[in-house]
Amino acid sequence: MNKRQNLNQSDKLFVVVGRGTFSSAMLNTLTFQNKTNATFIGEPTGAKPNHYGQVQLLELRNTDSKVSYSVKYFERLSEDIESFIPDIIIEPNAEDYFNNIDSVMKTIIEYK
């Protein structure tokens, strides 16, 4: 991530996060936070930075049902917070949605 120093700047590298950021995407977010100078933009993440993952499947033969379960706890922060909060918070709103406006991308383009 450090090979492109001309892009590894807070006004050039942006990471978009939101309610759909969970599981491995949450781990990727924390990697970007620790290894780059990126600016994070969007909504708070949909998962805690510390979370259970690495899902496996268990088949219950007598019921023909399948159950998924996590086998690993990922603890990436010393503090157990509810979600990762971006540097710039942009909540979705109905007006932008109905006017086909991507307010996150608009903010990135206009970022100074």
Taking only the tens place, the pLDDT of each residue in 65-76 is: 999 999 999 999
Position 111 in a domain: no
Q: Which domain holds residue 47?
A: 14-104
pTM (2 decimals)?
0.83
- Residue 52 has a pLDDT of 92
* pLDDT band, very low/low/confident/very high, at 2 (cuts 50, 70, 90): low
The runs of H, that is alpha helices, within 1-112 are 24-35, 94-98, 103-110
Give me Rg for the CA atoms of the chain.
Answer: 18
CATH code for the domain of 71: 3.90.226.10
* Residue 90 or residue 4, greater confidence: 90
- Residue 1 has a pLDDT of 60
Position 109 in a domain: no
78-101 tens-digit pLDDT = 999 999 999 999 999 999 999 999
